[in-house]
Amino acid sequence: MADKRGLEKLDFGALSIEQQQQLRQFKVNRLSNDKHLRAHPEVEALISDFLRFMYFSKDPDIREYAAGGFNQQHKLTRTPIYRQGQSST
């Protein structure tokens, strides 16, 4: 029978002790990564730029393009994006 949260009875023995420890460590790492990304919003801008350039490159081999990243093979020329109210001078 389902409980109030919509879950059936929990099976606490479904994961071994080692699997539970791995899952706990994964969650700790994920929280740590999340805190780091929130503290560094420039990472979101880098990822956004990379994805934009990858999309506009129309490279048929996405994996190769991504492996090349921001190196000499795929020179990325960045056009400055100015926020509203800022000028380019």
Q: What is the spatial distance between Cα 31 and Cα 25, in angstroms, rounded to a whole number?
A: 10
Torsion angle of the four alpha carbons 60, 63, 67, 72, in this order, in degrees rounded to the nearest 10: 0
Q: What is the pLDDT of residues 12-59, one digit of tens each?
A: 778 889 999 999 999 999 999 999 989 998 888 888 888 888 888 888
User: What is the biggest distance separating any 2 CA atoms in the chain, rounded to whole angstroms?
Assistant: 67
Q: In this structure, are residues 65 and 74 in contact, taking their beta carbons and an 8 Å threshold?
A: yes
Instruction: Say what the pTM is.
Output: 0.46
Q: In this structure, are residues 53 and 75 in contact, taking their beta carbons and an 8 Å threshold?
A: no
The answer, yes or no, to whether residue 86 has pLDDT greater than 70, is: no
Look-up: residue for tokens 């490159």? 57
